[in-house]
Amino acid sequence: MTPGSGLQAGLKNRHLTMIAIGGVIGAGLFVGSSTGIATAGPGILLSYALVGTLVVLVMRMLGEMSAANPTSGSFSAHADRALGPWAGFSIGWLYWFFWVVVLAVEATAGAKILEGWVPAVPQWGWALIVMVVLTATNLVSVGSYGEFEFWFAGIKVVAIGAFVVIGLLAVFGVLPGVDAEKASFGNLTSHGGFLPHGPGAILTGVLLVVFSFMGSEIATLAAGESEDPQRAVTKSTNSIIWRIGVFYLGSILVVVSLLPWNDASIAKDGSYVAALNSLGIAHAGEVMNVIVLTSVLSCLNSGLYTASRMAFSLGQRGDAPKSFARTTSRGVPQTAILASVVFGFVAVFFNYQYPDTVFLFLLNSSGAVALFVWLVICFSQLRMRKIIQREAPEKLVVKMWLYPYLTWATAAMIVFVLVYMLFDTEHDGRETVLLSLLVAAVVLVIAAIKQKITANRPAPAAEAPADKVSVG
């Protein structure tokens, strides 16, 4: 816990473990994977592998910095120290903006499922109920957030684990009582080849799946409120490889092995439902709706937590109203939570009233934030490694591999993806990057103005030089 922050160590090790595991399983994996499969065929596995590798490398860098200095601001606080206040301010507010928009997306997705079950309550009513319940959960204590997330993430993990095991048994022909006629590893190559749309489709697939990985960094924010932050960060960083391998690559491999990639049911019913239906499992659609709803609620719960902790950290550093940094007696940043919820409700309103104009702008203008965050983490780590080595080398308990070469290579890959998106008009890649850059430019201008105003004020007598900021 950050000294004097007001936050309390209310998250247990089991909470942190499940937050770390569940953080990489977003609702986008269940909902959006069918589009990726249709675009790249079985080659979508390479798209997931590429993005997964990027996430592993970025999380390694973040783990190095967060293990040395666990804080609720995570990469924003590290950027503040390593690159300057403008960087921490900008990436912190962009990240907060991203999660506020996600709140609206997930609340609406959850409301659609719930309305299908109980049509007497209108969709907007369900969205309101879901937001209110999870706001109340977050306001009670960090422990209640952790407990909810423990069970939400647990259901996701068990569901995907069972899906992978059942699917592989069917592919090998040893699943009792199931006649999976289409199931075979031959599906990976026998319907137009492994890359039916050519190698270029791999990069297009990257654009479609990259945003479903956002959330893997939540564990480093939550670590600041755990009993042993350094251990929590180290553990979540070291386990990221198998988490992505099993939950993303494993489950998508099962889908494209159970069914031909161009089977009409994948686009019609969704990849996971289609795969379960191919095994003749009764009520597969309803089962998957329960799992998707759990993922949506998990994402909402974590999104609200993440947005509020980023707002809290910004308030602590003077980059947001001071009230954001105040906590209740239970260690909950109440104002930061309520402010995030208010903007979340506004975004939900826009989603219902102006879905094709205002909300579409919000969605597209926050779309590339994940890549901006990863890029800032790369440049922060390049600088922060030198600061840690100079001031507290014993805190380098997690180290980025092949520093600095692999860090530069990762940054180059992220820039390449952003540039490639600028040429993608079919899947709104260009619009997403341009609008996200526009919003980022506005935030950077505000950061520059704030920094200039701050610079003109008399400096405190005991202020430390910029390059001598403690990492502890």
86-90, 202-206, 291-295, range with greatest mean pLDDT? 86-90
pLDDT digits (tens, 9 = 90+) for 46-73: 999 999 999 999 999 999 999 888 887 8
Amino acid present at 362:
L
Rounded to whole angstroms, the Cα distance separating 194 from 196 reads 6
Task: Count the neighbouring beta carbons within 10 Å of the beta carbon of residue 223.
Answer: 29
Nearest alpha-carbon partner for 58 in 181, 201, 237, 219:
237
Which range (19-33, 210-224, 368-382) has the least confidence? Answer: 19-33
Higher confidence at residue 16 or residue 135? 135
pLDDT digits (tens, 9 = 90+) for 132-167: 998 998 898 888 888 888 898 889 889 889 999 999
Q: Domains in the chain: how many in total? A: 1
Tell me whether residue 426 is in a domain.
yes
Which percentage of the chain shows pLDDT scores above 90?
Answer: 38
pLDDT band at 313 (very low <50, low <70, confident <90, very high): very high
pLDDT digits (tens, 9 = 90+) for 243-269: 888 888 999 999 999 999 999 999 888
- Residues 342-360 have a mean pLDDT of 87
Which range (262-271, 277-286, 319-328) has the least confidence? Answer: 277-286
Tell me whether residue 44 is in a domain.
yes
Predicted TM-score of the model (pTM): 0.88
Which range (220-229, 304-313, 338-347, 369-378) has the least confidence? Answer: 220-229
pLDDT averaged over the chain?
Answer: 86
Tell me whether residue 406 is in a domain.
yes
- Residues 280-309 have a mean pLDDT of 86
Tell me whether residue 368 is in a domain.
yes
Tell me whether residue 303 is in a domain.
no
pLDDT of residue 460: 52
pLDDT digits (tens, 9 = 90+) for 394-453: 989 889 999 999 999 999 999 999 998 888 887 778 888 999 999 999 999 999 998 888
- Domain membership of residue 37 as a residue range: 13-94+143-284+354-453
Residue pair 138/145 in contact (Cβ under 8 Å)? The answer is yes
Give the domain CATH number at 76. Answer: 1.20.1740.10
pLDDT of residue 377: 95
- Residues 166-192 have a mean pLDDT of 85
Rounded to whole angstroms, the Cα distance separating 167 from 246 reads 13
